Amino acid sequence: MLQLLFDTLLRASDLALIALGLSTVYGLVKFPNIAHVQYAMLGAYATYALFALGLPLPLAIAAACGLTGLLTLALHLLVFRRLLRSGPAITMIGSLAVAMLVVAAAQGFAGSFPRMFNLPITAPVLIGEVRLSHTQIYAMATTAVLLVLFTLLLFCTRTGRAMRALSTNPALAAASGLNAEGITRLVNFASGAIAGLGGSLLALSTGAHVNLGHDLLLPVFAAAILGGLGNPLGAVVGATLIALAETLFTNLNFGPLLGRSVAFLPVSYISAGSFLILLLALIFKPYGLFDREVRRV
């Protein structure tokens, strides 16, 4: 049971930051940005490149987050803001094209071979019978701290209240004197930086590779939809539920049902959990588990 808990927390920390940024941006621009998961891949590669140049790992991660945020903001200003004039459907298709271009550019520069971080070997930390690497502990702790800071920002600051007001009623918020364009730019930069952080933390364990964004696409969108698109904290809850479903899919023993002593699903079936949760959510709760909260924020 303890192993299941930590496996779920580790997977949730992989998904939560990226789903958080995706849902936050959707609340303002009202289109699902398919390219968002590729920002995580770019953040991973940027962190690897800066670390290979000799920067300390925390500084490399921070710089990579800033660069990813700037790229996200540039794409919003140069591409998505113009596409939004034609409607959210056209913009979503445009984001798919941007995602493909980003992947092609990354593969052209870095190749398809995973780039593994040369980190010092340390003894694992034992919690009961669970073995955790220091990298995994740092990733979970960083995710938890950032989620707490984001919650405080959203509910305890003027910027957070402005973000919620703009997400709920853009016309009324603009008429009330809020700087809608400035807030949108800030959120786009922050969402890209957070996605870059999520990709960097994930790459410390798996390496930076061109399929990192593709691997995150389905579970991240499933988490955002499950939590209610436009509800950032709901997306975090959705990420936790998706992580739990994926962990159960690959850790439950289906042997007794098949007349065998042991029978586990292959790891390649891990996305089946995301598919199942996403399908059930679209059938029974198409606006997410927290759709009411989204509508009255």
**Confidence label for 133 from pLDDT (cuts 50, 70 and 90):** confident
For residue 121, give Cα distances in angstroms to 48, 133, 167, 182: 17, 9, 45, 44
pLDDT at res. 27: 85
Cα–Cα distance between 84 and 170 in angstroms, integer? 15
pLDDT tens-digit series, residues 237-294: 989 988 888 887 777 666 666 667 666 666 666 667 677 777 877 787 777 777 644 4
pLDDT computed for residue 297 by the predictor: 35
Which 3 state secondary structure label does DSSP give 149?
Answer: helix
Which 8-state DSSP code applies to residue 289?
T
What average pLDDT is seen over the chain?
86
Distance CA 251, CA 273 (A): 12
Distances (CA, A) of 29 to 86, 145, 189, 221: 13, 26, 13, 16
Partners of 127 in the β-ladder: 130
pLDDT of 267 = 66
Here the tokens at position 11 are: 């997977």
- What does the block give as tokens for 2? 């303890």
How far, in Å, CA of 148 to CA of 123, rounded? Answer: 29
- According to the model, what pLDDT value does residue 265 have? 64
Which pLDDT value is given to residue 167?
Answer: 80
